[in-house]
Structure formats: C-alpha cells, structure tokens
Chain A
C-alpha cells in the first residue's frame, strides 16, 4: 500500500541553523512527490515538487529512490519558515494525494 511517513511531529531549530524535515515513502510504482506547507491561518499550499527540481524559498528536496526518501532541506532557517509541512505523493495515473502526518516546524529567534 502507498504510505508516506514523516517521523517528526515537531521540529524546533534556531534562526540561521540548517533545517531538514524527513519524509519516507512506500510506493510500488514510480513516485511523484511533493511538499505542501501551511502557514498560520492560511490554507494548504504547494511548496515544491520533485519533478521540477527547483528551490522555493530556499528549500530543496531530492528524491532518493534507494532510500525511498524525499527530505526537505534549507541551509539557513528563517522565522517565517515556521509552519506545518506535509510530504505527499500522488498515485501514478491519478490525482489522488497521499499525505504524511505532517511536521510542525518552529524557528526560534
């Protein structure tokens, strides 16, 4: 079965420190993976997707098929990065998103 696991429910780092939010997946096909973010009092929005291989707001994520991981990284955290982050995969041939439980990231000043 398809599954996305985010092992950390809470993650707290200091401003300027590196950030890594972990995501592991289980999927028999060729995965398409995403990171979604939800800032306080805002709706869920797409942060980045692995196929675009882009950096958004300083965040990057690399798909590692060998380790079935898609960790989100940022070298220098900023206070405005504090939010809820969800890793998700889309089932091939469909538009059904499977989400992880989410990680609440807090950046301390």
Chain B
C-alpha cells in the first residue's frame, strides 16, 4: 500500500485561475480531509469528506470546494486564485474518526 497519494507534486498558476488537486486515500480508508499549510505555519483544516459529502468545514471561503468519489478519492478545487492561496495542500485519510494519515502534499504557487 503506497499510503495516501496526491497529485500533482507541484503546480504553478496565475492569479484568477482555477486549480484542481487530487488525493487517493490509504487502502481501506473512507474519510478524506484537506489542509492548507502556508510557509512557516501549521496545517489549517479546510474540509472533510465522508460518504461523498462534506462533513466538516473550516474557515475558508466558498472559492474552496471539494468532491469525494465512490472509490473514496477526493479533489480539492480552488477558484479565482489569489496570491495568498500559495501554500502546501495536504490530504489526510482515515477510517471514520480514527487516526489520520497524511499524503506528501501538493505545492501550489500562485503568481
């Protein structure tokens, strides 16, 4: 089991564009959470998906949206990108409310 995988590894976008990040959970996991980690900061919770629905949401604007597919993989979409959206985006998977396992992250740079 490769654990949690994320794609792409790095991404450069221009302000105003839209981006989609992808996450495949660890085998057997059904819950996916997304976090944003700005430089020098700890990860901040964006939202969590379970049974293809958003179960929890952090303090992020509606420009941030997500989706979970029947195979439990997930996407994070960010519209109208701002310079401040530049960060490492982490995906974590878990079996229900048990321990979260993190992926390697996607580094997003907005220019």
Interface string of A25-61 (1 = CB under 8 A from B): 0000000000000000001111001000000000000
B56 partner, pick from A6, A45, A96, A99, beta carbons under 8 A: A96
Inter-chain contacts of A100 with B (CB < 8 A): 42
User: Among the interface residues B40, B42, B105, which one has the most CB atoms of the partner chain A within 10 A?
Assistant: B42
Q: Does B66 contact A (CB under 8 A)?
A: no
B23 nearest CB across to chain A (Å): 13
Instruction: Report A55-93 CB contacts with B as 1/0, cut-off 8 Å.
Output: 000000000000000000000000000000010100000
Count residues of chain A with CB under 8 A from any CB of chain B. Answer: 19
With a CB–CB cut-off of 8 A, which chain A residues contact B105?
43
- B residues in contact with A44, CB < 8 Å: 43, 90, 102
- Give Cα distance in the complex from A11 to B56, angstroms: 34
Nearest first, the 5 A-B pairs at minimum CB distance are: A99-B42, A44-B102, A95-B97, A96-B45, A43-B104
Interface residues of B (CB under 8 A from A): 3-4, 31, 33, 35, 40-45, 48, 55-56, 58, 90, 92, 94, 96-97, 99-105
Residues of A within 8 A of B (CB): 4, 6, 9, 43-46, 49, 86, 88, 94-102
